[in-house]
Chain A
Amino acid sequence: MTLSTASSSLRKRRKSTEHVDHHVGGGRRIGSHALLIILAIYFIVPLWWLLVSSTKSTSSLFSSAPLWFDHPADFIENVQGLFTHQGGIYWRWLGNSFFYALTGGIGATVLAILAGYGFAKYRFSGRGWVFGLILGSVMVPLTALVVPTFLLLSNVGLINTPWAVILPSLLSPFGVYLMRVYTQDAVPDEMLEAARIDGAGEFRTFVQVALPMMKPAVVTVLLLSVVATWNNFFLPLAMLNDPNLLPVTVGLNNWTKLSSTGAGGEQVWNLVTSGAFISVLPLLLSFLFLQRYWQGGLAIGSVK
C-alpha cells in the first residue's frame, strides 16, 4: 500500500487551480454553479427548518408556515422550557453527550495512536497477522456487537453505568488503520534511529520525535471517533435505562416518542425542535472553525 497524505498534495495543487479554470467555458461554469446551488439548498433546507422551528411554540409548529419564523422571541421561552421540563434534564443529556464523546473519542484516539505507531514502526513477530485481524474487523458491523456486549456487561454489573457506553466506544479498528498508514510514510525511520542514537528511549522517541509528525492523522482520528461516539444511538439505547444517564440523541428520541403517542401534557414538540437545534450547534461550529484540519485529513488512507 503506497499512501500519502492528501493535504500536502492539496497544497501543491492549489497553485495550478487558476490554470484549470481557464479551460472551463463560461456556460459550463454557470451550469456547474447552478448545480452546486441546487445541491446546497437540498442539504441546508432541513437545517434551516430546524433553526426556524427552534423558535416556535408547539401550537405555532402546527399552524404557521414551516420554513419561516412566526414569533422568533418564543425561542427564549423554549430555552426556559428546556430548563424546567423534567427538572432541566435536557442539559444533563447534553452534558452526558459531551462526556461520552470526549472520553470515548479521546480514549479511542490515544489507543489508535499507540497501536498505529507500534504497527508502523516496529517489526515484532506476529505483527502481520495481528494487523490483518484488525483490518478484517473494520468490516464487522459494530452494531452486531451490541446485543452480546450488553449480555457480557450485564454479567459484570456494568449495564446502566457510563462505562457501558464509554468502554465499547474505545474500539476503533479503522482509527488504527489510519494511524498506521499515515505514520508509515510521514515518520521516517531515519529520524527515529537518530533519536535513539542520541540516547532517547523508545517512549521518548515516540513522544518527542514521532508524535509531532503524526498530528494531521491524530486530528482526523480524534474527529472521526468523537463524531462517532456523539452520534451513537444503538449502544446507549441498549445499555442505559436511567434517564439521567442518557445522551441527548436517545433523550430527544424519547421525547419524540412521548409526544407522538402521549396526551397533551406530554407533547413537547417545541422542546424537541429547540433541543435538537441547540444540540447540533457544538459540532457544526467546530467543523466550521476546524476546516483547515479535517478537509485533507478525512481522505487519509484512501489517497494513493
Chain B
Amino acid sequence: MATMTSPTHAKTSAEHEPSTVARRRHRTGWLFVIPFLAVFLLFLIIPLAYALWTSLFTSTLASGTEFTGLDNYAKAFTDPIFLEGMGRVGLFALVMIPLQIGVALLAALVLDTLATRLSQASRLLIFAPYAIPVVIGALMWSFLYSPSFGPASTLFDAFGLQAPEFLSTNLIFGSLVNIVTWQWSGYYMIVIYAGLRAINPSIYEAARVDGASGRQIALRIKVPMISSSMVMVLIFAIIGTLQFFTEPVVLRNVAPGVIDAAYTPNMYAYALAFQYSQFNYASTIAFSLGVLVFIGSYLFLYLTRKQSGLNR
C-alpha cells in the first residue's frame, strides 16, 4: 500500500493545476470507459438507431421495401391494438405501482421499528421472490390460479362458496397485478429499508421529546427523509411496468382466450416480428414504446428532481 501524502498536495496537482501531465493522465480515463462504451454503442445506440431507420420503411410483397417516412408512426398512433395495449399498461402502472410501493413501504417502516428474530426472518421471506425468475413466479401463480390445480377451490368449498375464476376476463387484470406485486415488493422493500436504516435515529428522539407518535414519525420524518430511495424504486417500477411482457405471456399459456397476443405493446411488437414477420412495423412499435417510456420516466424524474437530489 502506498504512503499517504497530505490531502492539499493531492488536490493541487489533480484539480487546480491542470498541467500537461495531469491532462494526459485524465485522458487515460477514456481507456477505462471505452470497453463499456463499445457495448453501449453496439447494443443500445445502434439498435435504437436501427429501429428508427427500419421504421421509416415498409415492405410489401407487391412493391418490395420502400421508404415511407413517418407513415408507420401515423399507423401506430391510430392503431387500436397498439393504443389499447398502451392504455392497458398505463392502467397497470396506475394500479400496480402504488400497490407494490405501498406494500414495500409499509413492510420497511414496520421492519425499521423492530429488531427481533421474527422481523429478520420475515424480511428474508418477503424478499425471497426477487430470487425467483419472473417466468417461474408467473408459472407458479398460473398453477395456483388454475381451477384444477390450485388451492382456491378447496379453500372456498370449505366455506360453501364458489371459488373465483382468477383466469377469467374479469379477474385477469387483478391476477396479473397480484403476480407483479408478489414478485417485486420485496426488492423495493429492501431498498427502502436500507434508506430508513441510514437515517440518524437521534432525529426521532428529538421528535419524541416534542410528543410525536410513532405514526407521525413514520409519515412526517421517515418518509420525507427517504425520498431519494422512493424516487429510485418508483422509476424502476414505472420502467418495469410499461415493458410488461413476461407475466402475461406465461399466463397466456393457460388462458389463451383471455390474454390475446397483443395484450401489451411489447407482446404486440413480439407477435408482429416473430409471428407475422412485419419487422418494419414491429420496429415502429418497439421504438414508439421506447420513446414513450423514456419520456414518461424523464418527466417523472423532472417532476421529482427536488426529492431525488438529482437536480445538481
Which residues in B have their C-beta under 8 angstroms from that of A227?
130-131
Bound Cα distance A227, B130 (Å):
9
Selected contact of A114 from candidates B35, B132, B142, B289, CB within 8 Å: B35
* Binary CB contact string for chain A from 104 to 145 against chain B (1 if under 8 A, 0 otherwise): 000000111011011101111001001000101101111111
Q: Which of B22-30, B67-75, B93-101 contacts the other chain?
A: B22-30
- Contacting residues of chain A (171-210) with chain B, CB-CB under 8 angstroms: 171, 173, 176, 189-191, 193-198, 200, 202, 206, 208-209
Select the residue from A173, A231, A272 with max chain B CB neighbours within 10 A: A231
- Looking at chain A's contact residues, the main secondary structure is helix
Q: How far is the CA of A10 from the CA of B36 in the complex (A)?
A: 32
Taking a contact as CB atoms under 8 Å apart, the answer to whether B253 and A256 are in contact is yes
B201 contacts across to A, CB distance below 8 A: 13, 16, 19-20
The total of chain A residues at the interface (CB under 8 A) is 124
Which of B5-13, B78-86, B168-176 is the contact stretch? B5-13
Cβ < 8 Å to B, chain A residues 1-56:
1-2, 4, 6, 9-10, 13, 16-21, 23-24, 28-29, 32-33, 35-37, 39-40, 42-44, 46-47, 49-50, 53
A137 closest partner in B (C-beta): B44
B270 at the interface (CB under 8 A from A): yes
B259 within 8 Å of A by Cβ? no
Q: Given A10-B194, A257-B253 in contact, is the A194-B39 Cβ separation under 8 Å?
A: no
Expressed in whole angstroms, the minimum distance between the Cβ of B142 and any Cβ of chain A is: 8
C-alpha gap A248/B13 in the complex (Å): 53
B136 close to A276 (CB less than 8 A): yes
Find out whether the CB atom of B229 lies under 8 angstroms from the CB atom of A303: yes
Complex Cα spacing A35 to B114, Å: 12
Assembly CA distance A9 to B3 (angstroms): 28
Are A299 and B43 CB-contacts (below 8 A) given A118-B31, A253-B253?
no
Which one of B14, B124, B149, B235 lies within 8 Å of A193 (CB-CB)? B14
Chain B 248-275 residues near chain A, CB threshold 8 A: 249-250, 253-254, 266, 269-270, 273-274
8 Å CB contact of A147 from B125, B208, B282: B282
B129 on interface, CB distance cutoff 8 Å: yes
Contact present for A148 and B113 (CB under 8 Å): no
* Residues 36-63 (chain B) with a chain A CB within 8 angstroms: 36-37, 39-40, 42-44, 46-48, 50-51, 54
Bitwise, A51-78 to B at CB < 8 A (1) or not (0) is 0010000000110011100000000000
The answer, yes or no, to whether B76 is at the interface (CB within 8 Å) is: no
| Interface pairs (12), CB distance under 8 Å | A13-B198, A46-B141, A50-B140, A122-B30, A141-B243, A143-B243, A144-B286, A152-B50, A193-B14, A197-B5, A233-B133, A279-B133
- Please name 17 further chain A to chain B contacts, defined as beta carbons within 8 Å, in addition to the given A139-B239, A253-B135, A253-B249, sorted by A numbering: A33-B118, A35-B106, A36-B107, A39-B103, A39-B107, A40-B125, A65-B154, A117-B32, A136-B294, A139-B298, A151-B279, A189-B14, A193-B5, A193-B9, A252-B139, A256-B250, A299-B190
Q: Which residues of B contact A (CB under 8 A)?
A: 1-5, 7, 9-11, 13-15, 25-33, 35-37, 39-40, 42-44, 46-48, 50-51, 54, 103, 106-107, 110-111, 113-116, 118-119, 121-122, 124-137, 139-144, 148-151, 154, 182, 185-187, 190-191, 193-195, 197-202, 204-205, 208, 214, 228-229, 231-233, 235, 239, 242-243, 245-246, 249-250, 253-254, 266, 269-270, 273-274, 279, 282-283, 286-287, 289-290, 293-294, 297-298, 301, 309-310, 312
